[in-house]
Amino acid sequence: MDNHNISVGLDIGTTKIVAMIGRKNEYGKLEILGVGKSKSLGVHRGVVNNITQTIQSIQQAVQEAEAAASEKIEDVTVGIAGQHIRSLQHSDYITRANSDLVIDETDIDRLINQVHKLVMLPGEEIIHVLPQEFKVDGQAEIKEPIGMYGGRLEANFHVVVGQVSSIRNIGRCVKSAGLELEGITLEPLASANAVLSQEEKEAGVALIDIGGGTTDLAVFKDGIIRHTAVIPFGGNVITEDIKEGCSIIEKQAELLKIKFGSAWPGENKDNEIVSIPGLRGREPKEITLKNLSKIIHARVVEIIEQVYVEIKNYGHEEQKKKLIAGIVLTGGGSQLKHLKQLVEYITGMDTRIGYPNEHLAGDSDEDIASPLFATAVGLVMDGLKRQERKKAEGVEVEMHADVAENEIDDELQPEEIVEEPKKERRSFLDKLTERVKEFLDNAE
């Protein structure tokens, strides 16, 4: 791939694997050059459970995208989700040796590195450490402590934790499919980047991404991510219920859900019936749409209630933590008829369906602007951001060639010359990517 700023997002989902190639056009919008989609066979609830099948599905999606864009894919940005992801709140502080000097990046790094030493359950690893707000000498609600004087620096952190083995398995699949791992991103964050506007993140919003195997939640307030959770249910359990409840095969259940399914049983008349061909010489089955939507309704209510519990865990009920922009639904599962109304009814919060067209170029294909592709679009954007940062660093490294020499010892240093905390936290994922790469290289 010649380096004219192309980025590839690889969304390894439970039902589908999407490879998406994109670049920025002259207006700074995202132009999608090619998309490849394949059925995902080796993934269960967001976690790889069959390496060989996953590798084949990845290769298939990648080839399709390459053909559409007539570009060769080498590096990809991959999303991680799955039921093993959990998040916790943690506060920590450091005492500064010299309070005559102003607080700088190294102090913040020291504080963040201290959080990285938290003891986790065996097999778990910290993926993200996201500073929420800082306190300097007891003065609270400081967004940016750099440049201030103070002896004690403390902060609240949002810590995202995941299973090392699951992350390594994804790395392994990507590598075996003949691709390089350019970066790893948390899927709820990628979807959020694709469908939410900055105003929504400021006002307070919960993004619910209903996928095939999992439902991801990301809560933003004051422009900062406050809470993330992955709930191990998605569209597949609805299909499963229809299959069991109506005694039909999965393929038929999926079609029924997509074509006739609704999350609101009230609207179907009793006499609306759909007939399904029986298996090989058996009588066709007749299913009333009312029953179908009752089955769907029961399961969807369960999923939304679990998500709502997580939103309450964040503290949505408190006046200061109110999510003014309400809920944004995205992902394939958000296309279910009347889902928006049901979510509003259960949570009492304003709801809209999120399409990833916030950053897409105007002439993009309509299919790409579907909620199905929210995560993939977010991953492409993430890859482009990473490239821009590397470029900026390249320039900076040339300028500070001698300074950089002294700073190499500290893993984080070169990355942390950036000013916004938003970028600073990305570097941890970059570090994780490096570690996964290193592990894979040594393993072979």
Classify burial at 292, counting beta carbons within 10 Å of its beta carbon; exposed 0-12, middle 13-18, buried 19 or more: buried
Map residue 55 onto helix, strand or coil.
helix
Name residue, tokens 């994804």.
170
pLDDT in the model for residue 391: 83
In CATH, what number is assigned to the domain containing residue 303?
3.30.420.40
How far is it, in rounded angstroms, from Cα 108 to Cα 114? 10
The two three-digit tokens of residue 236, written as one number? 């597949």
Nearest alpha carbon to residue 179 among 443, 386, 437, 372: 437
329 occurs within a structural domain? yes
82 occurs within a structural domain? no
Nearest alpha carbon to residue 128 among 21, 214, 230, 6: 230
Longest dimension (CA), the chain: 86
How remote is the C-alpha of 331 from its chain's centroid?
11
Q: Which residues contact 254 (CB under 8 A, 6 or more apart)?
A: 239
182 occurs within a structural domain? no
Q: Which residues share a beta bridge with 24? A: 30
Taking a C-beta distance cutoff of 8 angstroms, is the pair 257, 296 a contact?
yes
Domain limits at 314? 197-265+292-357
H or E segment to which residue 117 belongs: none
Q: Which residues share a beta bridge with 327? A: 206, 351
pLDDT in the model for residue 405: 44
Is the Cα torsion angle 125, 130, 131, 133 positive or negative in sign? negative
362 occurs within a structural domain? no
Taking a C-beta distance cutoff of 8 angstroms, is the pair 64, 76 a contact?
no
* DSSP assigned state of 213: S
Map residue 142 onto helix, strand or coil.
strand
Taking a C-beta distance cutoff of 8 angstroms, is the pair 107, 416 a contact?
no
Residue 270 phi, psi (nearest 5):
-65, -25
110 occurs within a structural domain? no
Instruction: Give pLDDT tens digits along the chain (444 positions).
Output: 445 689 999 999 999 999 999 999 888 889 999 999 999 989 988 889 999 999 999 999 999 999 999 889 899 999 988 888 888 889 999 999 888 889 998 899 899 989 988 888 888 988 888 888 899 999 988 989 999 999 999 999 999 899 989 989 999 999 999 999 988 888 988 999 999 999 999 999 999 999 999 999 999 999 888 888 899 899 999 999 999 999 899 999 999 999 999 998 877 777 889 998 888 888 888 999 999 999 999 999 999 999 999 999 888 888 888 999 999 999 999 999 999 999 999 999 999 999 998 888 877 788 888 999 999 999 999 999 888 888 887 776 666 655 444 443 443 333 333 333 444 445 667 777 887 888 778 776
- Characterize the bridge pairing of strands 75-80 and 6-12: parallel
Please give the tally of structural domains in the chain.
1
* DSSP assigned state of 373: G
pLDDT in the model for residue 354: 93
How far is it, in rounded angstroms, from Cα 127 to Cα 119? 13
243 occurs within a structural domain? yes
231 occurs within a structural domain? yes
Query: Up-side HSE of residue 171: CA atoms within 13 Å toward CB?
Result: 24
337 occurs within a structural domain? yes
Cα→Cα distances 261→96, 245, 278, 289, Å: 60, 14, 20, 8
pLDDT in the model for residue 407: 41
